Amino acid sequence: MTDAPQRPALAALLTVAASAFVAGTTLLAKALGTGALGPALSPLQISQGRFLFAFLAFSLAAVLLRPSFTRPHLGIHVGRSAFGWGGVTLMFAAASFIPLTDATAISFLNPVFAMILAIPFLGERIGPWRAGSAALAFLGAMILTRPGMGALQFGALLALCAALAMGGEMIFIKLLSGRERPFQILLINNAIGLTISTTVAAFVWLSPTPQQWLALAGVGLLMAAAQTCFINAMRLADASFVSPFFYTTLAFATLYDALIFKVLPDTVSILGAVLILTSAAILAWRETRHR
């Protein structure tokens, strides 16, 4: 299998498209969880829909493309899928309580949590630049929790837990990196995620309305499209070039929230998001120089 030629412009476009799709999944999850499309569905059921329709999409692709598979590292896959399911479920729950802008900004803490978790689990070291960027990101997250404001505080804490779970998922992704093909990883991840989410969603299941079924399908298909775009972007350009474009997710989340729910970011949202994005930029710059 030869490497794809470097095409940075197309890689940037694919990453921006992935960002729009990811923000779209959170938008639909918010509509499903707040009762905008019928009786409010539990985040557990919403994440089950996400894995169901994403798995169906990748299964269809497997039938059509007939890719080759190798023996999977099931233990690592289970750990990755469990943390991924927890992260997406908590993120969907957070979107029901706080603006998409805040939930998305806090989710950008996941590389910071991955960096911290990599110390005990991967034996990596943390220097002053990494420590400083982590402190700045946590300051931004604490601002977004809005202490003393009830539901907003609770929703921000849910988003913070989602970022922690996603950071744990990144550790398992690093362990899988280079061991298996990306398509195989995605197919197995969605299969295991579907198993976990279906088991748990059975306890809170409500019969979705036709509109809700369409929205659930949209969540899964948009996530599958986002994963496909992002993987192809990583094939066409270096990770250090591609990653910053993924932060346009915040812009799309803000736009969707304003257009659909008439919610505009306030000063606190902007300040917290700026601190977290600055931290991410510093970390990305430092990691690029280090490599």
Angstrom distance (rounded) from CA 103 to CA 121: 27
Rounded mean pLDDT, 262-286: 83
Rounded to an integer, the average pLDDT of 111-137 is 82
pLDDT of residue 246 exceeding 70: yes
pLDDT for 187 equals: 95
Q: Which segment of 140-154, 168-182, 199-213 scores lowest on mean pLDDT?
A: 140-154
**252 in any annotated domain:** yes
What share of the chain has pLDDT > 70, as a percent? 93
Angle CA(226)–CA(192)–CA(37) in degrees, nearest 5?
A: 55
Residue 61 inside a domain? The answer is yes
Residue 79 has pLDDT above 50, yes or no: yes
What is the extent of the structural domain holding 162? 8-290
Number of domains observed in the structure of the chain = 1
Q: What's the token pair of residue 6?
A: 């470097």
Residue 242 covered by a domain: yes
Alpha carbons 28 and 211: distance in angstroms, whole number = 11
Q: Which tokens hold the place of 176? A: 């899988």
What pLDDT is attached to residue 224? Answer: 95
Predicted TM-score (pTM) of the model is: 0.87
HEC string of 250-280 equals HHHHHHHHHHHHCCCCCHHHHHHHHHHHHHH
| Distance, CA of 33 to CA of 28 (rounded, Å) | 8
182 or 49, which is more confident?
49
The token duo for 58 is 């990748």
At 103, the amino acid letter reads A
Tokens (6 digits) for 234: 């990583």
**What pLDDT score was predicted for residue 277?**
83
Q: How confident is the model at residue 282 (pLDDT cuts 50, 70, 90)?
A: confident
pLDDT band for position 3 (cuts 50, 70, 90)? low
Distance CA 223, CA 52 (A): 11
Q: For residue range 62-73, list pLDDT tens digits in order.
A: 999 999 999 999
pLDDT of residue 151: 52
The DSSP call for residue 237 is: S
Residue 242: predicted pLDDT: 76
Question: What is the arithmetic mean of pLDDT over 266-284?
Answer: 84
pLDDT of residue 250 exceeding 80, the answer is yes
Could you tell me the two tokens for 150? Answer: 């009830």
Nearest to 279 by CA among 155, 141, 101, 123: 141
- Would you say residue 19 has pLDDT above 90? yes
CA atoms within 13 A on the CB side of 169: 21
Residue 43 in domain: yes
Answer whether residue 117 shows pLDDT above 80. yes
Measured CA to CA in angstroms, residue 66 lies from 9, 69, 192 at distances of 29, 9, 20
Q: Which of 197, 165, 229, 189 is nearest to 73 (CA)?
A: 189
Q: Tell which wins on pLDDT, 250 or 127.
A: 250
- What does the alpha-carbon distance between residue 107 and residue 273 come to, in Å, rounded to a whole number? 10
Q: Is 140 or 111 the better-scoring residue by pLDDT?
A: 140
Contact 90, 158 (CB under 8 A): yes
Give 181-238 pLDDT, tens digit per residue.
Answer: 889 999 999 999 999 999 999 999 999 999 999 999 999 999 999 999 988 887 787 7
- Measure the CA–CA gap between 95 and 75, rounded to whole angstroms: 31
**CA torsion sign, 243 to 168 to 286 to 103?**
positive
How much is the pLDDT for 149?
59
Task: Supply the mean pLDDT for the chain.
Answer: 88
Quickly state the pLDDT bin for 59 (edges 50, 70, 90): very high
Q: How far apart are the first and last CA of the chain?
A: 25
- Asked whether residue 1 carries a pLDDT value surpassing 50, the answer given is no
Query: Is the residue at 51 inside a domain?
Result: yes
CA angle 9, 11, 15 (to 5 degrees): 120
**Confidence band for 287, pLDDT divided at 50, 70 and 90:** low
